[in-house]
Amino acid sequence: MSSLTGSESVLAEADADPLTDRLLAHPRPAVIWGGVAALLLLVEAGALAEVSLRLLADLVGALPGVGDAASVAALADAAGGVPTLLSRETIPNQGYWNGSAYVGTFLGLQPAWAWLIRVALVYAYAFACLLWVYVGFEWYRTHYRVADWTPRDDTVDRLRGHRWGLFGLAVVFMFVTMAVFAPALGPTTVDQNLANPYSHQISYWTGSEVATSPVGDANLGSRSQGNAQTNVGPWSYDDFGRFHPFGTLPSGKDLFTFIAAGSRISLVIGLLSVGLSAGVATVFALLSAYYKGRVDDGLILLSDSVMGMPQLLLLIMLSVVLAGTWIGNLYSGAFVLALIFAGTGWPYMWRSLRGPALQVSEQEWVDAARSFGQTPGTIMRKHMLPYITGYLLIYGSMTLGGAIIAIAGLSFLGLGVDPPTPEWGRAVNAGQEYVTTASWHISLIPGALITLVVTGFNAMGDGIRDAIDPESDSAEGEAGGRGGGA
């Protein structure tokens, strides 16, 4: 029998020396990395638990007879009450001037500076987590991987030198961080400023004494409605001493808090819709590429039928039909949006994956696996799926940006996410009549953020494509080449 060479020898060595044995033989890097990772998670354990429990409470509340949503919400409140390194309790910015100094703010600083410190620490923490994940990959490659080199190394190296892709990655990182840490990033809370303003009180300096007022009344006195007398613009304080990084809405509510909370809704809907679309498209692409013939023809007919449906009409119809039902109440209607986007969007992703899947199905290793008697499911999972995963990442990232702008457009039209749940498109709609006035910020800031985030996801997709396929049309520099892009 001839000796194994190339990738076969690497696979044979990996089978003979599994990862657990390599970890036990050289545990120090893994222990150090795991310890630091556990510490990073521990300092924000309360916030992470609160996010998970909030989502679970919404799910339990919408599903009939599943459980007690109030109990889960109480657990979420308890988790949110646990001080963390980056919580607003640790670095408070909501305070007031008492005539001689600020009371209730971090180190007695102005609310703007206290808020800036918390935001800077949140993004520094998020960057540290991302950097530590990359360090883990490098340590795995150095200490535990069997092969000295894999094609993935070249992909990572090309992506690190792709400026447009790195720009997209930076934008996506900023957006995801805003969505994950929305409660800590806002200068105030959603419950206090948006949902239940009359259930909370604030203290403020009247010029001669400290007074108190319901937040709802303070909002009415801080409205931005197009003229100098009724406008609180970006990076300013209102008459009640509250700091507003992006100004206020026509209702007087804080725009930055609205945008931060809305980013979480956009991300949840986008990830759900793209994840469901990607799952359906991947399964159908593998089936059509492996079986071809009638299966492929049937899927083409099905995809053409779905693509022929008017998406907006379907959305309006299902939103009305499902309103008030348990599925329509899931995450304020966000789950229905995700299902509709996934149900009408998978044909586009399937058509993008079908070509690469057909190319892989013609390779010799697929015929060899079939001749050795492996089942179709095993062949598709082990020998075909890994080779279309890169294309899935590319089209998934680009589709996610499209989903976010579609969600914003629907909210602008008054469809989709149920009010008063914050959503970026609703802010654009609220400020459209003030675009040419002193309250220009209401529409312009969320509109610019929507454009930036969608551009970021597309740029990241371009970078991944050029890193995976250096001969794509858009590749730059030494990676440039002819045709054949993803």
Query: Each residue of 364-411: pLDDT tens digit?
Result: 888 898 888 889 889 999 889 988 888 898 888 888 888 888 888 888
DSSP line for 115-178: HHHHHHHHHHHHHHHHHHHHHHHHHIIIII-S-S--HHHHHHHHHHT-HHHHHHHHHHHHHHHH
Q: What pLDDT sits at residue 69? A: 67
Q: Please, which pLDDT band fits residue 259 given cuts at 50, 70 and 90?
A: very high
State percent of the chain over pLDDT 90: 49
State percent of the chain over pLDDT 70: 90
Q: SS3 for 323?
A: coil
Asked whether the predicted pLDDT for residue 3 surpasses 50, the reply is: no
Least confident of 1-10, 113-122, 163-172, 205-214: 1-10
Please give the DSSP secondary-structure letter assigned to residue 2.
P
How does pLDDT run across 33-89, given as a tens digit for each residue? 999 999 998 888 877 787 777 777 777 766 666 656 677 777 777 776 777 778 888
Helix (H) or strand (E) holding 97: strand 96-97
The overall pTM is greater than 0.75: yes
In this structure, how many other beta carbons lie within 10 angstroms of the beta carbon of residue 116? 15
Q: Please, which pLDDT band fits residue 472 given cuts at 50, 70 and 90?
A: low
Please give the DSSP secondary-structure letter assigned to residue 88.
T
Q: Please, which pLDDT band fits residue 183 given cuts at 50, 70 and 90?
A: confident
3 or 423, which is more confident?
A: 423
Q: What pLDDT sits at residue 15? A: 47
Asked whether the predicted pLDDT for residue 2 surpasses 50, the reply is: no
Helix (H) or strand (E) holding 205: strand 201-205
Asked whether the predicted pLDDT for residue 309 surpasses 80, the reply is: yes
In this structure, how many other beta carbons lie within 10 angstroms of the beta carbon of residue 309? 12
So what's the architecture of 256-479 in CATH? Orthogonal Bundle (1.10)
The mean pLDDT value for 264-285 works out to 91
The mean pLDDT value for 265-278 works out to 90
Q: What pLDDT sits at residue 482? A: 30
Q: What pLDDT sits at residue 236? A: 95
Q: What pLDDT sits at residue 65? A: 62
The mean pLDDT value for 478-485 works out to 35
Mean pLDDT of the chain: 86
Q: What pLDDT sits at residue 473? A: 54
Q: What pLDDT sits at residue 475? A: 53
Domains of the chain: which residue ranges? 195-253, 256-479
In this structure, how many other beta carbons lie within 10 angstroms of the beta carbon of residue 169? 20
How does pLDDT run across 13-30, given as a tens digit for each residue? 444 568 888 888 889 999
Non-local (6+) Cβ contacts of 114 within 8 A are 91, 92, 93, 95, 105, 106, 107
Task: Tell me whether strands 102-103 and 96-97 are parallel, antiparallel or unpaired.
Answer: antiparallel
Separation between Cα atoms, residue 219 and residue 371, nearest integer Å: 72
The mean pLDDT value for 123-152 works out to 91
Q: Please, which pLDDT band fits residue 7 given cuts at 50, 70 and 90?
A: very low
Least confident of 120-134, 376-390, 434-448: 376-390
The mean pLDDT value for 281-291 works out to 94
Q: What pLDDT sits at residue 66? A: 60
Asked whether the predicted pLDDT for residue 237 surpasses 70, the reply is: yes
The mean pLDDT value for 207-215 works out to 94
In this structure, how many other beta carbons lie within 10 angstroms of the beta carbon of residue 263? 27
The mean pLDDT value for 326-348 works out to 82
The mean pLDDT value for 308-316 works out to 80
Say if CB 329 and CB 61 are below 8 A apart.
yes
